[in-house]
Structure 1
Amino acid sequence: MPTHAREAFLLETCGNDDALRARVEALIAGYEAADSFLEDSPIERPLLPPEEKIGDVIGRYALQRRIGDGGCGVVYLAEQKEPVRRHVALKVIKLGMDTNAVIARFTAERQALAMMDHPDIARVFDAGTTEAGRPFFVMEYVDGVRITEFCDEHNLSLHERLELFARVCLAIQHAHQKGIIHRDVKPSNILVARSDGVPTPKVIDFGIAKATQGRLTEETLLTGVGQFMGTPAYMSPEQAELRDFDIDTRSDVYSLGVLLYEMLTGQPPFDPQELVRGGIDEVRRVIREVDPPRPSARIAALSADACKAIAQTRRVPPPHLRNALRGDLDAIVMRCLEKPRTRRYGTAQELADDVRRHLRHEPVEARPQSTAYRIQKFVARNQLACLSVAAITATLVGGTIVSVRQAVRATAAEQTATAERDAATAAGRAEALARADAQRRQEQAEDLLTFMLGDFRTELQKIGRLNLLDAVGEKAMDYFAGLNARDLTDTALVRQSKALTQIGETRIDQARYPEAAAAFTTAYDRAAALCERHPSNADMLFERAQAEFWIGFVARRRGEFAEEREWLMRYRDSAIALNEIEGKTLRSQNELTYGYHNLAVLDFEAGDLKAARAGFLSERHAIAELLAANPGDLELQTRMTDIASWLGSVAERDGAYLEAVERYTEMSSGIETLMAREPDVVLWQERLAASVTFTGNLQAMTAQPDRAMASYDRAMQLLDALVARDPHNQRWLVVSLNLQLQRITLLLAAGETDTAHELLPPVREQLEALVAAEPGSHEFTRRLATAWRLEARLQMATQPPDARAAIDRAIALGNGLIQQDRANSWAVGEFAQAQLLAGRIAHASGDDAKARQHWQEAIGILGSRWENSHDWRFLDPAAQALVLTGETARARPLLERLARFGYHATDPLAASTLDIVSPPQGTNPNPR
């Protein structure tokens, strides 16, 4: 160093250590005074042989390129020439390291390495000395990257990372069984590459550091007295003691724990750069004395951007990452990192076993084996066998009802005994005990209900087995019905509101609408009571808003459109209030966009397509902004597919069929992406079936029957699988039956009446059973009307009396919807088609007056809906009715409009009626 630079260097390096500063300055002074003493060697030294270069041949190995450089050796990619040709990794000891001691230690180490034979350990093939006498090692060449880098580059999920890590543990266990301790387990010594598409780890550098007695990487530290056998950030406390005799296999378990910590959180427990900067003594102190934060706590302490980046590479939403680490994984990692060896896993095998227990949803050894914990694990891994658990819960809830009522009666009885002082005291004690016992039972039951209807319900919903909770829901509703919201504590109101909402959602999924409405109404009572007590509490307002939304949603499904609008407007107002109280959080923004989404749906149902399109496009823009900030949020991704579906429906009703196909394709693509991430979640199968069905409908009405049938068949496969999972799920069943009706319609159009005759009766019978079970569902009723209309269409040519009976049944069902004001555009269009067919059947029997009456009825039902509409549901039957009643001039503009859109009637009867005008020049009647 130049003299003028030394002062600053010494000040920075020595700090306040005056004694160290004095020793260094004395050494510098001695150097300056020595002048040229011993500048030249007093003896002749032999020239060192030149270092190997690319192209040289060492034994049977031709050096091709340099792939690594450590403190004591250089690693080359080499090609073995004989007896087989293959690539290997060849490591040559650097000049000056070829001492007898090193070679002797290497010979012993080579014997130990030769004993290992494990697919996830890089094998040692050969060893020897170069012509210059320097030792070299020949090892299996691993064309991979360090394990942490591989995991992040390929966005491996937590589950995939844990599977990979367990394999590494088993490889280390194999070495331990052969009497070898790695002592330097770290990401750069575990390389991963894909083998047949499967990530395969290879553990390298077994025993090399021990053999060479030197520093293999720039991260490895040496001391003047002892030696750090390993890398500081991954080093066990006993390694930091610098006592080689005190190290056993549990030292590698500690390093594996550090590795797992980094694979889960993106960084080791202690910052490597901070450790090195602190000096050797600080490194030893930190490793031996400082406890690192748990992985979940480390994630919680990160900035939002850092957490988002880490979560993205693990394919998990940022809010869920901490929860995924909390519990089992925290416990497993921290057991590995215990300072005393006796508290760690005894072997790498035990560590691998615990990791795999976690993956199988079994209790892990690292956590206390409480009853609640073991039950939770049992439920997680036995999702399809938990009917007995549901029954137990139902029994407990029923018992709680009895207990609460008995407690109330006990209280009343004791109160009557207060006439005497002693009796009053006893009564007071008895009352307190009774109330305490009742409160305890109530809390136990409601806690279990929250679990059963919350986390457990979510898991059952994913696999399509909500029917397991039927008994729980029924008992819970009986229990809640006996409680008055005014008498409940805040905690009880919150717990019950959530449970009731969950019951309602379960009933919605099963299309049991009256029961769902009862649950949501009771949930609203609880949540409203909370809001009255705490008008500025965002959580209370949120719970009330959920109930408002679901009440509106049930009203929609039941065809109660006025009630639907009222409750959805309430929900929108609550979302606005939540936004004002809570600010622009993800939750409040989500609720606000949902509020305006519902208004767009109402505009759509009212026929205001311009307003609906603007609303959905605005919602899509808002969700895209939220998704940019939360790229891993599955709910937001799902909503983007839902918006695409609604925009497709708007385009279809507006006659923009090409745009509608694009939107439905966008919906399908988004859902398939979600299915790839969560293949076992049945929600994605259901929604994919819907999007494929929407596309098939468009193909059917644009003269593409073969493509439409192919789409219907694909959707049918998805729905059949769902119904097979849960035959009691009415919603899946009715969607499947409706798809069958659409397939039957195509079969009729293709003249395959025998197949249609075979398929229709069982479909109609199942719809009859659904309507009998849920008479308030306009959806079930409309589809049953369609089934009877198709029955009449099939019987029309061969069995006119049967046809008349069938069409009368269809008209009666449609009349019921119209008179109750529960008919949406689908129901209105269906009823008009039924009247048209009734007229044709009457005309075929010679009753022209009756036929004309039916056709006029169709015109009356449609009213003025078709005048400025682009919706084929109104235009098709209106045009048919006008042509059949001789008003061809009024029908012509409607037909031209349909032709311009590319619409073709599916039923040959309708097509022949409408085929009175050619499409305008330039119109493509079959857009693709």
Structure 2
Amino acid sequence: MSETPDIFRLGGYRIESLLGRGGMGEVYLAYDERLHRHVALKRIRADGPVEAQARARFRREAQAAARLNHPAIVQIYDILDTEHGDCIVMEYVAGETVAALVKRGPLALAQALRLASAVADGLGEAHAKGLVHRDLKAENVLVTSAGQAKILDFGLALPLWGNSPSPALTQEGALLGTVHAMSPEQASGRAVDHRSDIFALGVLLYELVTGRSPFRGANLLDTLRRVTSEAPAPLTESRSEAPGELVALVARLLEKEPERRPQSARLVAAELAALAVRVPIDVPPSLSHEEEPPRPTPAVREPSGDEPTVSRALAARVAPVPPASAPEAPASGDASMSDWRPEEGQALPRRPHWRLVERLGEGGFGDVWLAAHAVTGERRVFKFCVEAERLRALQREVTLFRLLKEALGEREDIARLLDWSFDAPPYFLESEYTAGGSLIDWAARQGGLGAVPLETRLELVAQVATALAAAHSVGILHKDIKPANVLVHTVPGGPPSIRLADFGMGLLNDRSVLEAQGITALGFTTADGEGASHGAGTLRYLAPELMNGQHATLQADIYSLGVLLYQMVVGDFSRLLAPGWQRDVEDALLAEDIACFVDGDPARRTSDAREVAERLRSLERRRAQREAEARTRLALEQARRRRALAGWGAVALALMLAVVSVFALQAVRAGEQAQAARAEAELRRQQADRLISFMLGDLYGKLEPIGRLAILQDVGDKALEYLATVPEAEQTPEELMQRSKVLGQIGQVRFGQGRFAEASRAFLESLQVARGLVAREPNNGGWLFALGQSEYWVGFALTQQKDLKGALQHFEAYLDISRRLVAMDARNTDWQLELAYAHSNIASIQQLLGDGQAASSALGASATIMETLRAQRPEDVLLQRELAQVYAKLGDAARSRGALPEALKWFRQNLTLLESLAAGAPEDAGLRRLLGIARSHVGDILLFQGDTRGALAQYEAELDLARSLAAHDADNVTWRGELLLRYEKVGRCQRVLGNLATARALFDTELRTATELLAKSPEHRGWRFALARGHMSLASVDGAQGQETRARGHLREALAVLEKLCAEAPAERDFSLWRASGLWQLGLLETRAGAAAHARTAWEEALASLGPGEQAPEPSVLDLRARLLLGLGRADEARPLLETLDWMGYADEESLRVRRSLIAGGGASTARAGP
């Protein structure tokens, strides 16, 4: 399909003219011959290969967008699969973009509010259907001649670019034009949801009212900084008459944290509409009479003109030579030369035999075109610039190429410049044409990057590294390494080779080398200074330090090269280097190499591109060496493990205790003997310490997984007696550190037995000893590490006691110590792992304290460290267990935000990893417990999404595990408590599915077991809580079977217990949630009995028990609150909650039945037990 087509037909559409080119393709005006109407036909164009999966995802989302029917959204009519690519047939709208409107100045307040309200209402419609725009901005909103707002491009951007968070971050060359309208989370590469659109709506509203963007800065980095870190100037600076409600609303819309913004676009629409009615009908600020009237714009985005990169620089497809009848360009002295612009078929100024064939792209300087010689057919690439002030990039490219040529000679791996003309407009630069095109074009012709053998991909990256090393050797930084700037040269029957191109953003470390070569420093001004930056490069390849405003170094190019290597390895140029990228790289050595090249600290990256090439070309040799080393380590480890732990019975235990006692007695007596015997006593005391360490360390590690901690009870008691006989003042620092470690091990044993108070005392004593030692030698890494462990265990104990703020203080101390350790030795992987643990622990507490943003940030840091280490230590089982737990925490964080699909993804990753670990250690009881918990997490989300049978399968497998664990170690109170909860979950699913007899049997077992446990420990809160849950579960079955008297009896028992528990532990959220749920059930029973006043009293008390609404509540809590409000007749308050639940995809079968019944006014619904 040509850019200016003759009239022809495509399907049922007659193409009439080219309307324009947008970021994703061309848009044509077409006539629908079946329905007799004009339409806009958009041909989707990708800058790289589009894989089948991505294409299918694009079509699915386009189909979803086609279901949107709202007056503020441009309607999608059809999707065509043609030989020219996928085409979208959409509503043709003649109008003007908001961007064009506000260029003439701000709008009248009433008009601005009405337009923004319409856009917000359109967004609300899309959000309700599960669609997020992701690229809302002034250029994507049209205003018709009738003054109606129309949103463009719903559902069209993301699918072409894999899993990327937004088209602006994935489409090369399109970032600068959109970054000012991005939300902070989108600009930071984090996951986005509908609240990102709400932020963009705030930007749009700000522009409508003030006539300018709230965040646009002097350049890309300045704009990013403003979006993520700065509050915009208040509206009143530009519009003093703006009402306070509008100023406050804009401030809320532009909150940096998504949780602080309005959560519903429809509610914002209503608020804007109400404001529009109240503000006076005014006129916009006065405009100049010389301004031109608006020009109608079709329903297509035009390029912004300030895009920072050329999407297909110096590469092209073969195209036919233009006909000899093409128009000639004017002579260089022609008066019209300053107005010359390149067009297809046109001859070049000062190059009469060269004709323009195809526009390849554009950059900050101007356009890039392929040209062909009219006689010989030879092809070359021309970069045009028509404005002198934008010429520096081309001049700089020439300067750097001349230096490369003078210093290094002609190189096949660096694209050659052939000529340039900077004397008069149009200015241009002429370069050789590479028929293979860019890496993107070449890969597409191979059937996609993934179809190219990995060895070939790695060799191409090694060649890029070699070319980059050559540039670095003469002090040149490229600053824009990416696939579009790597050309592929091919010869028939030979392997492909690369040519590194486009040094237009390059940097020169030392300009004196230019003087030495006699080269004029075109494009480099004195004001730049050495090391000055001449552009930001392409964001996805940009090193973190450049994002922070630091000067570019050799390591910044290495980072870009590392990102390119990652994309080549995974076979996808659209892939961003986001946290968790290691999961995509199966080869551990390659993952290790990439991690080295893209390290966030430039000081830890290599500065030599030759090392990159050498690593890639020696991959197989290094792998063989690594495997040989692993075999050697395994042999040594097997030799150590041959000391079987067999025959550990009563006789062996008694013997070990006797040895401890003898050593302790000898140590005490030695202190009373002559000085000559003291050395021997000291030696024996150290031997006793080592023996205790073995029993409470190595032995603990063997007994804890198989659930036999009771064996260590007497050992711990005897160890404490021994430690009491040795005065602390007489011990050396090494002995004191040993004492601290032993106390920590004793605390762990006590904790495993449920003796929390005794465990806490041991942990605190261990911490005191460790602090004293580190105070003596603050730079002793081993002692500092032990201190970190002590801080952790004290924080852990406080967490179990619900003292979250106290726990956070110790975990923050643990984090600080871990950072100090990594700073002391950044190559120590054990210390890096401690830093990951520390971040994870902080996240757990922050999540419990309700600071979801801080928790997510800490979890991201933890996961990134662990995944990097996993690539380096693939056999480290403990690391994999910890990583699985971080996945679980990420799932919890997503669940708390209501992002159920994301939560399910993380929970399934957690489950998959634990299943793999459990298969290799079937006797590890602790691992089996974690596996059961992982199944519970997956089951919870499936239940929320309405898949009750899928949830039941997970819960039943979890129940089987819990039963086997409880039978294995009857003294383990934690396992017994978890077993009771498993009965409740399986029973609930059976009840929802209508299997009431099965459900009752499970609930009876739960209640009976809790009663038996309470008989032994009447004040145990966990057993009392389980008792209340059992009564509530049975009440739900009784209610479903019409046995309301029995149901009331169970509820009275449950609520009495829960009321006491809430009074004893008001900070324990689960107690108040279950109490609210019990009151909900009681209200339903009262409603059925005709006691509406009693029902209202119960439900109001339930709402009070829930407390004030949370910003990011658990979905089931949000559901309970909505049901209570509906029951109380407060539908207006319930409606936003119900919309949020719908947006989340919350479709719990039982909840839906109840809510529908309440909305219909039925009132009598099946009771639901539990929040």
Interval of TM-score (by shorter of Structure 1 and Structure 2):
0.5 to 0.7
Structure 2 unaligned segments of length 5 or more: list them.
Answer: 1-618, 1161-1171
769-778 or 705-714, larger mean C-alpha shift: 769-778
**Matched residues in 1 for 2:1008 and 2:628: separation?**
51
Q: SS at the partner of 1:381? A: coil
Matched, 1:389 2:633: no
- Report Cα offsets for 1:217-250 as digits up to 9, x if no partner: xxxxxxxxxxxxxxxxxxxxxxxxxxxxxxxxxx
- Deviation of the 1:820 alpha carbon: 5.0
Shift in CA distance, 549/783, structure 1 to aligned 2, threshold 3 Å: farther
Aligned to 1:622: 865
**Matched residues in 1 for 2:1089 and 2:721: separation?**
56
Letter in 1 for 2:798: A
Q: SS at the partner of 1:454? A: helix
Shift in CA distance, 522/684, structure 1 to aligned 2, threshold 3 Å: same
Q: SS at the partner of 1:666? A: helix
Letter in 2 for 1:390: L
Q: SS at the partner of 1:670? A: helix
**Matched residues in 1 for 2:931 and 2:914: separation?**
6
**Matched residues in 2 for 1:764 and 1:593: separation?**
41
- Deviation of the 1:613 alpha carbon: 2.4
Shift in CA distance, 485/888, structure 1 to aligned 2, threshold 3 Å: farther
Q: SS at the partner of 1:499? A: helix
- Deviation of the 1:806 alpha carbon: 4.0
Q: SS at the partner of 1:680? A: coil
**Matched residues in 1 for 2:766 and 2:1019: separation?**
21
Aligned to 1:653: 896
Aligned to 1:891: 1134
Aligned to 1:900: 1143
**Matched residues in 2 for 1:449 and 1:707: separation?**
48
Shift in CA distance, 808/917, structure 1 to aligned 2, threshold 3 Å: closer
What is the aligned counterpart of 2:1074 among 819, 830, 854? Answer: 830
- Deviation of the 1:782 alpha carbon: 4.5
**Matched residues in 1 for 2:1153 and 2:724: separation?**
56
Aligned to 1:739: 982
Aligned to 1:578: 821
Aligned to 1:638: 881
Aligned to 2:1103: 859
- Deviation of the 1:890 alpha carbon: 1.0
Aligned to 2:1054: 810
Give the alignment of 1:505-904 within 5 angstroms.
505-767=748-1010, 782-795=1025-1038, 803-804=1047-1048, 806-819=1050-1063, 823-841=1067-1085, 849-866=1093-1110, 868-904=1111-1147
Letter in 1 for 2:646: R
**Matched residues in 2 for 1:831 and 1:400: separation?**
56
Q: SS at the partner of 2:1112? A: coil
* 8 Å Cα contact 1:778/1:822 also seen in 2: no
- Deviation of the 1:549 alpha carbon: 0.8
* 8 Å Cα contact 1:517/1:551 also seen in 2: yes
For the aligned residues, what is the CA RMSD? Answer: 3.7
Letter in 1 for 2:1119: D
**Matched residues in 2 for 1:532 and 1:305: separation?**
48
- Deviation of the 1:443 alpha carbon: 3.5
**Matched residues in 2 for 1:311 and 1:679: separation?**
29
Higher share of residues assigned helix: 1
**Matched residues in 2 for 1:841 and 1:432: separation?**
85
- Report Cα offsets for 1:693-733 as digits up to 9, x if no partner: 21111222322222211111222222333333322222222
**Matched residues in 2 for 1:775 and 1:584: separation?**
52
Aligned to 1:324: 637
Letter in 1 for 2:805: A
Q: SS at the partner of 1:462? A: coil
**Matched residues in 2 for 1:901 and 1:517: separation?**
41
Give the alignment of 1:88-127 within 5 angstroms.
none
Q: SS at the partner of 1:869? A: coil
Structure 1 unaligned segments of length 5 or more: list them.
Answer: 1-303, 328-357, 362-376, 412-427, 919-928
- Report Cα offsets for 1:437-461 as digits up to 9, x if no partner: 8656644433222111111221223
* 8 Å Cα contact 1:393/1:449 also seen in 2: no
- Report Cα offsets for 1:838-870 as digits up to 9, x if no partner: 44455566665554333222212222234x335
Letter in 2 for 1:855: W
Q: Who wins on radius of gyration, i.e. which is larger?
A: 1
- Deviation of the 1:546 alpha carbon: 0.8
Aligned to 2:731: 488
Shift in CA distance, 911/513, structure 1 to aligned 2, threshold 3 Å: farther
- Deviation of the 1:388 alpha carbon: 4.0
* 8 Å Cα contact 1:477/1:519 also seen in 2: no
Aligned to 2:181: none
Q: SS at the partner of 2:850? A: coil
- Deviation of the 1:477 alpha carbon: 3.7
- Report Cα offsets for 1:636-683 as digits up to 9, x if no partner: 222221221111112222222222222122112212222344343333
Shift in CA distance, 775/636, structure 1 to aligned 2, threshold 3 Å: farther
**Matched residues in 2 for 1:878 and 1:906: separation?**
17
**Matched residues in 2 for 1:746 and 1:769: separation?**
25
Letter in 1 for 2:697: G
**Matched residues in 2 for 1:468 and 1:653: separation?**
40
Shift in CA distance, 766/546, structure 1 to aligned 2, threshold 3 Å: farther
- Deviation of the 1:742 alpha carbon: 0.8
**Matched residues in 1 for 2:1088 and 2:663: separation?**
66
Shift in CA distance, 707/905, structure 1 to aligned 2, threshold 3 Å: closer
**Matched residues in 2 for 1:523 and 1:556: separation?**
18
- Report Cα offsets for 1:340-391 as digits up to 9, x if no partner: xxxxxxxxxxxxxxxxxx8xx4xxxxxxxxxxxxxxx3x5234xx4354334
* 8 Å Cα contact 2:668/2:725 also seen in 1: no
**Percentage identity across paired residues of the two chains:** 26
Shift in CA distance, 460/753, structure 1 to aligned 2, threshold 3 Å: same
**Matched residues in 2 for 1:386 and 1:311: separation?**
41
Give the alignment of 1:439-450 within 5 angstroms.
439=682, 442-450=685-693
Q: SS at the partner of 1:864? A: coil
- Report Cα offsets for 1:110-152 as digits up to 9, x if no partner: xxxxxxxxxxxxxxxxxxxxxxxxxxxxxxxxxxxxxxxxxxx
Shift in CA distance, 568/783, structure 1 to aligned 2, threshold 3 Å: farther
Matched, 1:470 2:686: no
Letter in 2 for 1:667: N
- Deviation of the 1:315 alpha carbon: 7.0
**Matched residues in 2 for 1:604 and 1:825: separation?**
13
**Matched residues in 2 for 1:584 and 1:905: separation?**
49
- Report Cα offsets for 1:400-442 as digits up to 9, x if no partner: 666667777xx5xxxxxxxxxxxxxxxx63x875x67865664
**Matched residues in 2 for 1:526 and 1:829: separation?**
42
* 8 Å Cα contact 2:788/2:814 also seen in 1: yes
What is the aligned counterpart of 1:912 among 1154, 1160, 1170? Answer: 1154
- Deviation of the 1:541 alpha carbon: 1.4
* 8 Å Cα contact 2:962/2:982 also seen in 1: no
* 8 Å Cα contact 2:1096/2:1128 also seen in 1: yes
**Matched residues in 2 for 1:769 and 1:488: separation?**
48
* 8 Å Cα contact 2:911/2:934 also seen in 1: yes
* 8 Å Cα contact 1:486/1:529 also seen in 2: no
* 8 Å Cα contact 1:730/1:770 also seen in 2: no
- Deviation of the 1:825 alpha carbon: 4.6
Letter in 2 for 1:899: D
* 8 Å Cα contact 1:651/1:660 also seen in 2: yes
**Matched residues in 2 for 1:696 and 1:625: separation?**
30
Shift in CA distance, 449/771, structure 1 to aligned 2, threshold 3 Å: farther
TM-score normalised to structure 1 length: 0.53
Letter in 1 for 2:1098: H
* 8 Å Cα contact 2:664/2:688 also seen in 1: no
Aligned to 2:409: none
